[in-house]
Chain A
């Protein structure tokens, strides 16, 4: 199994380190050719407006959309979650998303950096130490979306089929359990 980490901009290196720590082979994905060699894709945090533009200029947007439609597992954290959402609130007007998971997400809804925080998150996958950086908020969850984790009764970790999304940064807390969970989604898919 090889997991791709979308490396256009943002915290891709920290995700690669997490995957390495659990013995999973990963490559940085910056072009369609690299995408072709991966079984699953991780979309890191960063600036979603920057990533949207680089997805277009690198020719990656349509191939990624096609792979997601084909069932490739994807895991988006923070900006990565925004890219996967069916609806972006407070985004740029030209910002496109993959509409891979039926949620409405508001950019930077937890505030500016002065409001960024870390906290314990209760989830069905386990309790996590969540780091929220200028974090987006999940304001609506569709019927087919499973809420796996929440903070202050708000969803922060959600899943729909092979699509996993978190508004926080598991890659920043030296805890690779969510990466393991994502890898298990990928492994189960491969068996089918």
Chain B
């Protein structure tokens, strides 16, 4: 397999271990969508462990329609200059040139994201070709394992971004984690059938049967808008959360951001959750799933 691992003397960059290592470091922290350096600073001040730099949050992409692409490098660079925490950026599914550009900016993590308009309806990016790690969305375990086989260092639920409604994220987390639990109970003959049903490499399915967990960290994304939403994702088994439109589309972003950070750390402590949930003002309005036409659902993008 082609890999962009470079070895200089006795040290190597871009290895799977180094890529998955950064994903490990993000666990239990909140990754927040930001569209400018002011928002990035608010996010960092609130305790975000990373920011996702993008021109429009998913709620606005959904409202505006049209083709959504990689953000302007200038805007990404301004955000990199304004914070000390890791910066992520989104590229279109299959658009490996956008990914090359993002990597050359020194961005820390690439999100090959269904929120942007896909550039390829068959292929995702060969992520082994890059030195920096990729996160990809998944709605089920098969999709997660196909992305891991392409080199993703981190998987997130797709949820339905820009809705402020986490019902889809819950569906995706339950599907991925539920199937992992079932696979650990399967016998060796049944694993062949699991691989076939999931359309995923047998070796990865066998590995899950042995370890009981995904090869890379699993985070939640899509529709998280409140501290309780973040804690729900964590109690379901996500290892941390991405919050997109939920913070900067709410009435008062800074205290909400801080509250979601605390809720993600203390996700099993209902007393803390009650304290941080108080007086946050109005959450983003949100959209019920039956208000969205099937063809306008981001989660269906990806193969």
Contacting residue for B18 out of A7, A12, A131, CB 8 A: A131
A13 and B27: CB pair below 8 A? yes
Contact with A along B47-89 (1 / 0, CB 8 A): 1111000000000000000000000000000000000111000
A169 and B21: CB pair below 8 A? yes
Chain A residues closer than 8 Å to B20, beta-carbon distance:
172
Contact with A along B236-255 (1 / 0, CB 8 A): 00010000000000000000
Q: How far is the CB of B261 from chain A (nearest CB, A)?
A: 7
B132 and A114: CB pair below 8 A? yes
A112 and B108: CB pair below 8 A? yes
Chain A residues closer than 8 Å to B22, beta-carbon distance:
113, 116, 133-134
A54 and B27: CB pair below 8 A? no
Q: How far is the CB of B254 from chain A (nearest CB, A)?
A: 13
* A58 CB–B CB distance under 8 Å: yes
* B297 CB–A CB distance under 8 Å: no
- How large, as a class, is the contact surface on chain A? 35 or more
Q: How far is the CB of A116 from chain B (nearest CB, A)?
A: 5
* A118 CB–B CB distance under 8 Å: yes
Q: Which of B28, B49, B84, B85 has the most CB of A within 10 A?
A: B28
B48 and A50: CB pair below 8 A? yes
Query: With A46-B49, A114-B106, A119-B11 in contact, do A133 and B18 touch (Cβ < 8 Å)?
Result: yes
B49 and A47: CB pair below 8 A? yes
* B109 CB–A CB distance under 8 Å: yes
The count of chain B contact residues (Cβ–Cβ below 8 Å) is: 41
* B266 CB–A CB distance under 8 Å: yes
Query: With A11-B24, A113-B133 in contact, do A118 and B50 touch (Cβ < 8 Å)?
Result: no
* A160 CB–B CB distance under 8 Å: no
A117 and B265: CB pair below 8 A? no
Contacting residue for A131 out of B21, B85, B265, B269, CB 8 A: B21
B109 and A7: CB pair below 8 A? no
A115, B108: Cα distance in complex, Å: 10
* A104 CB–B CB distance under 8 Å: no
Contacting residue for B49 out of A9, A14, A120, A131, CB 8 A: A9
A54 and B265: CB pair below 8 A? yes
Chain B residues closer than 8 Å to A120, beta-carbon distance:
10
Looking at chain A's contact residues, the main secondary structure is loop
Chain A residues closer than 8 Å to B8, beta-carbon distance:
117
* A62 CB–B CB distance under 8 Å: no
Chain A residues closer than 8 Å to B11, beta-carbon distance:
117-119, 151
* B3 CB–A CB distance under 8 Å: no
Contact with A along B175-212 (1 / 0, CB 8 A): 00000000000000000000000000000000000000
* A8 CB–B CB distance under 8 Å: yes
A10 and B28: CB pair below 8 A? yes
Chain A residues closer than 8 Å to B14, beta-carbon distance:
114
* A173 CB–B CB distance under 8 Å: yes
* B17 CB–A CB distance under 8 Å: yes
* A53 CB–B CB distance under 8 Å: yes
* A140 CB–B CB distance under 8 Å: no
Whose C-beta in chain A lies nearest to the C-beta of B46?
Answer: A53
A120, B15: Cα distance in complex, Å: 14
Contact with A along B7-47 (1 / 0, CB 8 A): 01011111101101110111111000000000000001001
A12, B269: Cα distance in complex, Å: 18
A46 and B25: CB pair below 8 A? yes
B266 and A58: CB pair below 8 A? yes
- Per the 8 Å Cβ criterion, residues 120-146 of A in contact with B are 120, 131, 133-134
B17 and A47: CB pair below 8 A? no
Top 4 A-B residue pairs of the complex, sorted by shortest distance between their CB atoms: A119-B11, A113-B108, A53-B47, A9-B28
14 contacts between A and B (CB under 8 A): A8-B28, A45-B24, A46-B25, A47-B25, A47-B29, A47-B49, A50-B29, A54-B265, A58-B266, A113-B132, A116-B13, A118-B15, A119-B10, A134-B86
